[in-house]
Amino acid sequence: MADPRDPRPLIGEPLALDLLNTRWRDAGEQDLLADLDGYRIWLSSAGLADRCPADEASLSAVRAARSALDALVDTPGTPEGAAALNAVLAHGRIRHTLAADGPAETAETDTPQQLAAWLAADDYLSLLRLGAHRIKRCAHPACILHFFDTSQNGRRRWCSMAVCGNRSKAARHYERTTGERTATP
């Protein structure tokens, strides 16, 4: 469940995209990871507050993971983006075990400070397996948010139909009725 202090306009995407969405535009560029307080809010919203430390080393690792993900989502397959993501992934692994109730998997990292970053990077690999074409940036020109398109036909265009979709539709309607183009925020 999202932390009620979380100011972001889009919450609840898969972990990798939720990390990317810690930057958004609202009367200028916003960054939830600008400080430790924002990082704590993100950990809480992502359900990681009990598993991951909230210190400067962890925040630095998560920022590095976000940069790697940003490079890959914007330009898939770039060697630099892949190298940056692989550098994050090099700090952890999945340990498979047989527990009393059956097979189990546990994420292990070199240090606890790497866990949140590693989990986000690993989640990105899971999203790629599900369908790289479903990882999308909102179609609104002023929006920088990302989402995983789970629609049946894969044609979702907006991070939020209520916000970005309506803004775009209103701008098109205004243009048709007045013949004037509007600047979109």
Domain ranges (residues) in the chain: 15-133
Q: What is the pLDDT of residue 179?
A: 66
Quote the CA–CA distance of 81 and 43 in Å, as a whole number. 24
Q: Tell me which of 73-82, 86-95, 125-134 is least confident.
A: 73-82
Model confidence pLDDT, tens digit, residues 7-26? 999 999 999 999 999 999 98
Quote the CA–CA distance of 51 and 63 in Å, as a whole number. 18
Q: Of the spans 30-39, 73-82, 150-159, which averages the highest pLDDT?
A: 30-39
DSSP bridge partners of 96: 105
Quote the CA–CA distance of 174 and 185 in Å, as a whole number. 15
Rg of the Cα atoms in the chain: 18
What does the pLDDT average to over 64-81?
Answer: 93
What does the pLDDT average to over 89-105?
Answer: 97
Q: What is the pLDDT of residue 173?
A: 45
Q: Mean pLDDT, the chain, as a whole number?
A: 91
